[in-house]
Structures are given as C-alpha cells and as structure tokens.
Amino acid sequence: MISTVIDQSLGLEFPIFQGGMAWVADASLASGVANAGGLGLIAAMNSNGEQLREEIRKCKEMTDKPFGVNIMLMSPFADEVSDVVIEEGVKIVTTGAGNPAKYMEKWLAAGIKVIPVVASVALARKMEKCGAFAVVAEGGESGGHVGDLTTMALVPQVVDAVSIPVIAAGGIADGRQIAAAFMLGASGVQVGTRFLVAEECTIAQEYKNKILKARDIDTVVTGKRLGHPVRAIKNSFSREYTKKEYDSSNVSDEELESLGTGRLRMAAREGDVSNGTVLAGQVASMVKKEQPAREIIEEMFAQAEEVLNGMTKWVK
Ligand code: TUI
C-alpha cells in the first residue's frame, strides 16, 4: 500500500486529489472520489456563495468521508465563497489561478487546511510562509489554466524550495505517472482529466466522448494574449479563437474576452463540444474508458505499486 503524509493527515485511503474542475467538479464527482478513498473537491469557480453552499450540503449528504472545495481566484465570486467554506465547516481548501494570501488568515483561524495550486517556486515559497499545509505543483501538461513549466521541471524545484508536502499535478493519468511523481519528491498526486470520464462525473456525454477519442496532439493552449492561457481539446471554436488571437491584429482584447465567455459551460453542461471549450490535459488520449471513481483510483495505485516494486521491468 502506498501511503504518505497526505493520505495520513487528511484521512484518505490514497494520496490522490481530484482536480477542482470548473463546471465539472460538483457534489456528485467530489463525493464519488471521496467515497473511493481520494480527496474529492467541489469547484467553486462557477458558483456564487449560495450555490456553493447548496453543493457543499449536497456533498455532505452523499459522503461521510473528507472532501474539500477548490476556489478559483479569478472568479468574480471569490470573496463570497471564501466565507462560505468557513460557514459550512469545510476542512480543506485548494485554490487556483492566483495568490490566495488575503484569505489565508481567516481560513487558518477557522482550522482549514489550505493547499494552494502553484505553477512556480516563488508562489510555493510565499504560500509556505503564509501557513499553507501543502502545495499542489501543477505543470503545464494539465488542462485548464496553465503555467509555463512542465510537471517534470516544476515538481522537483518546488520540493527543494519548501518543507511542506508537495502534490504533483499535470500529466498524470496512470500509475506510471504516479510513480514518477513520487520519484520527483511529491507526496501525492492530483488528477483531473481521467476523472472527467468517472461514472460519477455529471458532464455531458459528448464531452466524455471527446476525451475518449482524443489523440496525443489534440490539445492546444489558447488565451496567452489575455494573460490567462488555458489548455483544451482542439475543435472548431479553438481554431476560430486562435485565428483571432494571433492572425487578426484588429481584434480587440475585449472582443477576444467576450468570445471566450460561457464556452466551458456550453461544452460541459450543454454538450456542444464544437462551439464550447473542452478543457483537458495532454494525457486525454490515455483515458480509455468510463469507470467508477473507485476503479480509476485502485487501478492507478495498483500500477504505481507495480512500477515502484519492480523498477527494472519498466526501464527499457
Ligand atoms: O486554476 C487552475 N486551472 C483552471 S482554472 C479554470 S477556469 C478559467 N481559467 C482561466 C480563464 C478562464 C477560466 C480552468 N482551469 N489550475 C491551477 C493553476 N493555478 N494553474 C496555474 C495556476 C497559477 C498560475 C499563476 C497560480 C498562480 C499564479 O500566479 C499567481 C501569482 O500571484 O503569482
């Protein structure tokens, strides 16, 4: 059994987090992963305070295992949801796409374990100083909002820079990649893309099919010009957006911004995977079938153990 400070201190069976994916990570997925022994996370990204409160309460009905909330700091509702997690007694908060320093004091006072997602050594250091319990070091292989460094380069640099535990994210969809993360010094992993096809994941079937059909080179990063790059599966919308982003200097930033608005909801909830944004990581093509969350986690950790126990078999 692979066991680290992460599963031991958070009350999990396995040291694995489910990514706090916007428009995807609801009470159903978070409770599914929690019941399967991982850390389920509800994404607060697309909710205002009251909507998040309802989702947290739903999740409490669906599991008695620990779960957390991910707060996307670029969300217009970040301030109000930062209070709701306290009011609802959430014990674990992860953050993304920014620096959560201004919320840290009140979260720590409420006894919350704060685990920011970072894409650089500098932010990891700052978060350790602010009292973070751990950090998720996320490489640019991931889906959604991406930093510049790869997981392979970022994780060992963050591990060397801080004394708190590091969870590796970005490019992890099977046990070999979990084993690799441990070798880089991580104490756990965060997985997003593979959980998109979990049976407990409530996104449109068309979105799941797009993941299941993806090839290795089928993702693209758009949005660099506006300063918030996101990785998604290539489709007709990403081609239109890329063209406007790079080819047409007469398209204003405001126009580009409004072009992207609402696109993730369109894909994830309405199933329009041609005109919507299908966020996914570079490992989408490794995701082969729909499975219950428990099966996904057990399969990944069985393979990780096999790799770690018999290294030579895997070194070709
Ligand atoms: O946040 C994510 N992934 C996301 S958020 C999202 S919703 C969205 N995002 C952008 C535009 C429109 C919608 C979809 N996917 N992952 C965590 C993450 N955080 N990755 C990278 C970062 C990050 C990057 C820079 C964190 C901090 C940072 O700098 C902050 C600072 O002050 O240094």
pLDDT of 243 over the 80 cut: yes
Instruction: Determine the Cα–Cα distance for residues 13 and 301; give it in Å rounded to an integer.
Output: 11
Question: Considering only CA atoms, which of 260, 278, 294, 261 is closest in space to residue 24?
Answer: 278
Measured from CB, residues less than 6 Å from any atom of ligand 1 are 22, 45, 72, 74, 96-99, 117-119, 123, 138, 144-145, 147, 228, 230, 279
**Predicted structure pTM score:** 0.96
In this predicted model, what pLDDT tens digit does every residue of 91-110 receive, in sequence order? 999 999 999 999 999 999 99
pLDDT of 6 over the 60 cut: yes
For 160, other C-beta atoms within 10 Å of its C-beta total 10
DSSP string, 298-310: HHHHHHHHHHHH-
Q: Which residue has the higher pLDDT, 314 or 44?
A: 44
pLDDT of amino acid 182: 97
- Nearest residue (by CA) to ligand 1, atom 13, is 145
pLDDT of 311 over the 80 cut: no
Could you give the percent of the chain with pLDDT greater than 70?
98
Instruction: Calculate mean pLDDT across residues 189-218.
Output: 98
pLDDT of 313 over the 70 cut: no
Question: Considering only CA atoms, which of 127, 177, 135 is closest in space to residue 152?
Answer: 177
C-alpha 31 to ligand 1 mean position (Å): 24
- Nearest residue (by CA) to ligand 1, atom 30, is 98
Q: Which atom of ligand 1 is nearest to the CA of 223?
A: 11
Q: Which of 99, 145, 253 has most ligand 1 atoms within 8 Å of CB, for mutation? A: 145
pLDDT of amino acid 17: 98
Instruction: Calculate mean pLDDT across residues 270-282.
Output: 98
C-alpha 228 to ligand 1 mean position (Å): 7
